[in-house]
Amino acid sequence: MEFNLKVGMEGKLEITVTDKDTAEAFGSGGVKVYATPLMIGLMEGAALKAVDPHLPEGFASVGTHLDVKHLAATPVGMKVYAVAELVKIEGKKLSFKVEAFDEQEKIGEGTHERYIIQMDKFLDRVNQKGK
């Protein structure tokens, strides 16, 4: 199946860091700064936003691999955003360059892979696990 995707597509997501977004609140550290797992989630969300709106009905993408560095801490109250750029398409496998920034500097960077799935077949397979 042909998908309407091309290298260079980008997605961006932005949030303002709140107390619930901190490492302390998330349980990934004892410090009141933006949590690494949430930064990773923002990066994944940006990648999803870059491609999923362009997929045919009944298809979506799921994250399969991340290689990310968290470079700098961000305090509560500061805006952060993630940008994902589609850099490679191999059939249903999609590769992204991902970066995250706060209002002062780059806070994260890395690569992310997603895989295009057909929702009904994927969910049927997942639901078989519970039986």
Q: Is 109 a catalytic residue?
A: no
Measured CA to CA, the distance from residue 81 to residue 118 in angstroms comes to: 29
Residue ranges of E strands in 23-129: 59-70, 79-90, 93-102, 106-118
Given the residues 10, 14, 70, 113, the one annotated as active site: 70
Catalytic residue among 22, 44, 85, 99: 44
Q: Is 103 a catalytic residue?
A: no
Q: Could you tell me the CA-to-CA distances from 51 to 6, 44, 54, 81, 125 in Å, in that order?
A: 9, 11, 6, 17, 23
DSSP assignment of 49-62: HHHGGGSPTTEEEE
74 among known catalytic residues: no
| Neighbouring-strand partners of residue 72 | none
Asked whether the beta carbons of 102 and 42 are under 8 A apart, the reply is: no
Residue pointed to by tokens 């892979």: 113
Q: Which of 10, 22, 24, 36 is catalytic?
A: 36
Looking at the annotation, which residues are catalytic?
36, 44, 70
